[in-house]
Amino acid sequence: MEFDRMIPVFRRLALEAGARILQVYNSPDFAVKSKSDSSPVTEADEAADALISAGLRAAFPDLALITEEQAASHALRASTFLIVDPLDGTKEFVQRRGDFTVNIAYVKDGIPLRGVVYAPAQDRLFYTLADGTSVEETGAFDHDVVGDLHRLAVAKPDMAALRVVASKSHRDAATDDYIGKYAVADMKSAGSSLKFCLLATGEADLYPRLGRTMEWDTAAGDAVLRGAGGHVVRFDDHSPLTYGKAGWDNPFFIAYAPGVDLQK
């Protein structure tokens, strides 16, 4: 795969989708519908999905494409595919809390090798470079000119003072019970795939998710975290989280920086 060509396409489409999302987000009002699983969807989700899908199909016509808004029509036929969540954190979007993201990833043989996570309302842009390492870009986010890049690396955790990040909209007693097994010095709540990026930047050490997620929710953030030296494993047996599963459902998982002594 020509990653030198892929990464600029991912970046540009994420920025274009983010701009379209913010048009809706900053409007006085927008409609919210419910999907078959009762999760919310807005015109921003649908517009971003259409924009990214068209761009990826034009750039990579030979790769299978899976997106959240079109997943019902997709059956996996390839071990290599693109996977997109055009607006992760729709609940945060609807409540105008700001921590929602655009996510695009490339998966090969179950592993998310490259990805981009863009949080347009927070002006934060994270992605993997062609060599697989991860960066955060700062600057004006020009669609055609790359700004300053800052190489990402997970922090060295202190087991006596862990920094934990957990879901803002899906926190539950089971998650709190698991976090209670650690000596926690700092606790953050964040929406969407930003939680992976907080680990990748060294702002947090541990992110447990004991709730339902889909592969498009996690693939891009997983790729960014891997590129910064972090890991994502299944909650039950601590084996690596893989992609391309039937139905696209993820098991419970733990994202962490090496050095965290995972608890059962």
Reported as a single tens digit per residue, the pLDDT across 205-255 is 999 999 999 999 999 999 999 999 999 999 999 999 999 998 899 999 999
pLDDT at 72 over 60: no
Structure tokens at 117: 């996570």
pLDDT in tens, 35-47: 656 577 789 999 9
- Asked whether 122 and 98 are in contact (CB, 8 A), the reply is yes
Mean pLDDT, the chain, whole residue set: 93
Output the furthest CA–CA distance in the chain (Å, rounded).
Answer: 50
pLDDT at 78 over 90: no
Averaged pLDDT, 10-17:
98
Helix H or strand E segment including 9: helix 3-25
Q: What is the DSSP letter of 183?
A: -
Predicted confidence at residue 64, as pLDDT, reads 92
Residues with Cβ < 8 Å from 183, sequence gap 6 or more?
159, 160, 161, 162
Q: Which of 9-13, 59-63, 188-192, 236-240 has the lowest mean pLDDT?
A: 188-192
User: Could you state, in order of their start, the residue ranges of all structural domains in the chain?
Assistant: 3-151, 162-256
pLDDT at 71 over 90: no
Residue 170 Cα distances to 66, 92, 96, 186, 208, angstroms: 24, 11, 17, 19, 11
Averaged pLDDT, 88-99:
88
Rg (the chain; Cα; Å): 17
Q: Which has more pLDDT, 91 or 80?
A: 80
- Cα 181 from Cα 167, distance rounded (Å): 17
Predicted confidence at residue 75, as pLDDT, reads 59
pLDDT at 168 over 90: no
Q: CATH classification of 3-151, choosing from 3.30.540.10, 3.40.50.970, 1.20.58.1610, 3.90.79.10?
A: 3.30.540.10
Class of domain 162-256: alpha beta
pLDDT at 130 over 60: yes
Q: Which has more pLDDT, 187 or 32?
A: 187
pLDDT at 73 over 70: no
Percentage of the chain exceeding pLDDT 70: 95
Predicted confidence at residue 31, as pLDDT, reads 76
pLDDT at 82 over 60: yes
